[in-house]
Chain A
Amino acid sequence: MALDKNGIAKRIAQELRDGWYVNLGIGIPTLVANYIPEGIEVEFQSENGILGMGPFPFEGEEDADLINAGKQTITARKGAVYFDSATSFAMIRGQHVQLTVLGAMEVSQDGDIANWKIPGKMVKGMGGAMDLVASAENIIVAMMHTNPKGESKILKKCSLPLTGVKCVKKIVTDLAVLEVKDGKFHLVERAPGVSVEEIVSKTEGELIVPDVVPEMILD
């Protein structure tokens, strides 16, 4: 059965490696911080100027001066550091962050991503997304496979204004883990109980399906 957003976050968290600096976008990506595998240490960078982002504070201990990119109150871990926005994006653009996780409205088989604008309807702005996708060596997209109308978001070509071009390599959806290679999607894993047929039917882009598609292993 399809994963919920925590399931997606849990699967993505399996990609974390010890010693990595990681940037988590707003929405589903922030949940990845709740599922860090045992025995590994990662440090979370938040674009608004903190390295060593910690969990939400206890009630009554919220600090208005300490927030994350989604404007939520957070805490700082031991060894954390604060810096300004130019320094923050130097870390990002200068490829000092090993993994970026962000959401998407659409991804294309060329690796293009659209996640900031629906013309005439929703123009919230791109925030740090364009810097992140243009610079990151390792990007994982967390998204639902289809939109609320049931239309595929995994496409031949994006219809929405782009955030970045040819930059996505790995996607985790509520149904599957996909890789983007040589201008096509490749099915790597399916969510527990989800059939290959369902994934194929909900993928508008070209999808290469191996003979055996293993299920994701989530505790």
Chain B
Amino acid sequence: MNKVVKNVEEALAGVQDGMTLMVGGFGLCGIPENSIAQLVKMGVKNLTCISNNAGVDDFGLGLLLQGKQIKKMISSYVGENAEFERQMLSGELEVELIPQGTLAERCRAGGAGIPAFFTPAGYGTEVAEGKEVRVFNGKPHILEEALTADFAIVKAWKGDTEGNLIFKATARNFNPMMAMAGKITIAEVEELVPAGELDPNFIHTPGIFVQRIFKGEKFEKRIEQRTTRKRD
């Protein structure tokens, strides 16, 4: 199996206006930078983006928001992006805010063939509006449905030609579940190696979930909050 595509252009070929995309990352950590830049370049619009956050004003998904390419965002937290909040409060941007754990599990379920599940998160809040409630172990839970996407765009540290992926530290976050839930999954990696080089015991995402893999040209890896402590 050779899932390798030459470059970011080939990787994103077929992404069209109006599609639903899943984009990995938590804040700016573990985001597919090169793919996002390519989406900006392609000018695709009316996108529905499923991603935990919306980047910052001038990086990450914030770039797509700036270009008004996103019609709807499905996220759990958008506090770092003033443009996002502005577009949302003004009604320009449709937003569905969902609990982070629910978002993670909905993506996992989507990739795992579980159409819906019950969770206690959000019961008694506006998140529960219109949703079925059932009591388990004396505690109310709400029914949440799986999420899938036309394309899932994920970022990994290392990947091989079979699409097997390994992530680094907290850059893992949503990438593995989104990789499962995309109809077509595009993996952007820092290091691309031949099959056999990655120890099968230590692969995080099996290549069966990945359709296209490419080595990103460059990674800025921006830090949102550079916090440090003094040496004694």
Residues of A within 8 A of B (CB): 46-50, 55-59, 61-68, 70-74, 76, 82-86, 88-89, 92-93, 112, 120, 122-131, 134-135, 161-166
Contact = CB atoms under 8 A, between A and B. Distances in A.
A129 B28 CA distance: 20
A134 B122 contact: yes
Contacts of A49: 26, 170, 172-173
B20 interface: no
A27 to B, nearest CB: 11
B124 to A, nearest CB: 3
Interface residues of B, number: 59
A69 to B, nearest CB: 8
Question: Taking chain A's interface residues, is the majority helix, strand, or loop, or is none over half, making it mixed?
Answer: loop
Contacts, number: 181
Interface stretch (B5-13, B95-103, B206-214): B95-103
A56 to B, nearest CB: 4
B227 A85 contact: no
8 contacts: A48-B170, A57-B228, A62-B228, A85-B101, A93-B121, A123-B88, A130-B101, A135-B120
A174 to B, nearest CB: 23
B134 interface: no
B89 A120 contact: yes
A152 to B, nearest CB: 22
Nearest to A57: B228
Contacts of A82: 167, 169-170, 172
B224 A131 contact: no
A56 B229 CA distance: 6
Contacts of A65: 29-30, 157, 168-171, 221
A126 B76 contact: yes
A135 B121 contact: yes
Nearest to B107: A86
A118 to B, nearest CB: 11
A127 B224 contact: no
A165 B123 contact: yes
